[in-house]
Amino acid sequence: MSTEAKRQMSIEPLPGYEPEIGRMLWMLENERKRSRRSLDAIHPDAIDWEPHADGNSIGTLLYHIALIELDWLATEIMEGKLGEDVFSKFPHPVRDAQGRLTVVKGISLDEHYRRLDSVRMLVLNSFKGMSIAEFRRLRHLPDYDVTPEWVLHHLMQHEAEHRGEMATVRTLAEKAVSG
**Which one, of 24, 1, 31, 3, lies nearest residue 162 by Cα?**
31
Question: Which pLDDT does position 83 carry in this prediction?
Answer: 85
- What pLDDT sits at residue 177? 87
Report the C-alpha gap between 1 and 44 in whole angstroms.
42
Instruction: Report helix, strand or coil for 140.
Output: strand
pLDDT < 50 stretches in the chain: none
Total domain count for the chain? 1
The verdict on residue 147 lying in a domain is: yes
Residue 35 is predicted with a pLDDT of: 98
Look up the CATH number of the domain holding residue 78. Answer: 1.20.120.450
Domain containing residue 137: 45-178
Residue 37 inside a domain? The answer is no
At residue 41, φ and ψ (nearest 5 deg) are 60, 30
pTM: 0.94
For the segment 87-138, what is each residue's pLDDT rounded down to a tens digit? 999 999 999 999 999 999 999 999 999 999 999 999 999 999 999 999 999 9
Neighbouring CB atoms inside 10 A of 125's CB total 10
Residue 141 lies in a domain: yes
